[in-house]
Structure 1
Amino acid sequence: MRGMFKNALKVCVLAGALLPCWGAGEEVKTLPAPVMTGGMPLMEAIAQRHSARDYDTTRAIDDQTLADILWVAWGMNPQGKRTIPTSRNLQNMQLFVLTPTGTWEYDGPGHRLVKVNEKNLIPLCERQDFVKNAPLHLLYTIKNDRGGENHVGSAYQNVYLYCTSRGLSTVIRAMIDKEGLKREMSLPENHSVIVHQCIGWPAK
């Protein structure tokens, strides 16, 4: 493994699950350029899309796969547009990556991760046992309620289709401590936590 994930196998085992890890003290992480070609035909991905809750606890998400996941959810396409539509072009969604060593926000225009805090907020999403086994945790939030939940739905559907194409398992979840997450992330009053998405390679 390379880049931000090269030491994940050594240092990021939490509750038996292999989780993504980034070094403390580095506030910005540049991601590999997304791969915008290839993959499963769209109609096949739609036909095969499903939720899955069993993850391989010995296999991490490499940095290229992470970059692709974040890009399909909330990145910028070659035309300078978001990879998902937002009503009235509000773009009032935020996408975060939760790790044991901190919370990172995805900056779509810069295609990079910006560190928000050094807190492990994953336990606030663990109201179901299988969550502990997922190596990647995404959190979707919105600013005000003007269509934001619809935008989140577009984003996590893109992630579902990408995961189907790549052979990854994923599930979207609302059984999380939304108020606790909002408080620990110091989100403004007009921001809301919407859903959490687990991603990982299928259990063997």
Structure 2
Amino acid sequence: MMNRSMYLSLSMLALAAGLSAAEPAVIQLPVARRSGGMPLLDALSARRTTRSFKKDAPIPDAVLGELLWATWGYNREDKRTAPTAVNAQELDVYVLRADGAWRYDARKHALVQVVDKDIRSATVMEKIAQPFVLDAPVTLVYVCDTTRGPRGADGKGIIGKWAGTDTGFLAQNANLYCAAAGLGTVIRGSFSPEVLANALQLNENQFVTLCQCVGWPQ
């Protein structure tokens, strides 16, 4: 017969296992370089759009980490590599890969899993042929959270009207890093916002602003 002490021990183990199972997977990215690389004018000269990517050619975490830091990392205590209106920092960068969808946690320089399956196809519209999307190992998805920043007279967030402009700053950072690192990239606005928001499990205060495929050019 199980005694009280053994029962409590087993109960605590089961509870710990349940809590552990509920925690999202996290990938700690290698520390990103903050100096060196291609000179800015050379990167501007090399910047271009790519729609042909090598299949089965993943981006190493060290390179991905540098890409994400360049795109939307912290370069000062509370400021980022890209500006936003009134420093609202209303954007999040999601990383879609074959192993799931991940949110970039810039403070911890880590990826936090939000979906445990490949949802890159959710960024493709049926009537627009974009076969390269599933060849690219990474799709960045830019998401606005309207609860950040100033509130309007009606109590609702007003930061959404600046989200498109702010996204452009992040996307250009990603473009220049890709040019410097030899990666290919293409910015994509042809997607179903509702389908992608559902796939990412976004809430009513979030919306997708843009997608950007990244991979090794063919």
Q: How would you bin the TM-score normalised by the shorter chain?
A: 0.7 to 0.9
Q: Tell me if the contact between 2:54 and 2:135 (Cα under 8 Å) persists in the aligned partners.
A: yes
Q: Which residue of 1 aligns with 2:50?
A: 52
Structure 1 pair 159/99, CA: closer, same or farther in 2 (3 Å)? same
Secondary structure of 2:80's aligned partner: coil
Q: Which residue of 1 aligns with 2:29?
A: 31
Q: Which residue of 2 aligns with 1:147?
A: 162
Q: What's the C-alpha RMSD, in Å, of the aligned pairs? A: 1.6
Rg larger for = 2
* Aligned residue among 62, 65, 68 for 2:63: 65
User: What's the TM-score, normalizing by structure 1?
Assistant: 0.82
Q: Does 1:112 align with 2:110?
A: yes
Q: Tell me if the contact between 2:122 and 2:199 (Cα under 8 Å) persists in the aligned partners.
A: no
Letter in 2 for 1:138: L
Structure 1 position 49, deviation (Å): 1.1
Q: Return the alpha-carbon distance in structure 2 between the equivalents of residues 187 and 79 of structure 1.
A: 28
Q: Which residue of 2 aligns with 1:160?
A: 175
Q: Does 1:83 align with 2:98?
A: no
Unaligned runs of 5+ in 1: 1-24
Q: Which residue of 1 aligns with 2:196?
A: 181
Q: Tell me if the contact between 1:95 and 1:106 (Cα under 8 Å) persists in the aligned partners.
A: yes
Q: Tell me if the contact between 2:98 and 2:137 (Cα under 8 Å) persists in the aligned partners.
A: no
Structure 1 position 136, deviation (Å): 1.2
Q: Aligned residue pairs: how many?
A: 179
Structure 1 position 79, deviation (Å): 4.7
Secondary structure of 2:36's aligned partner: coil
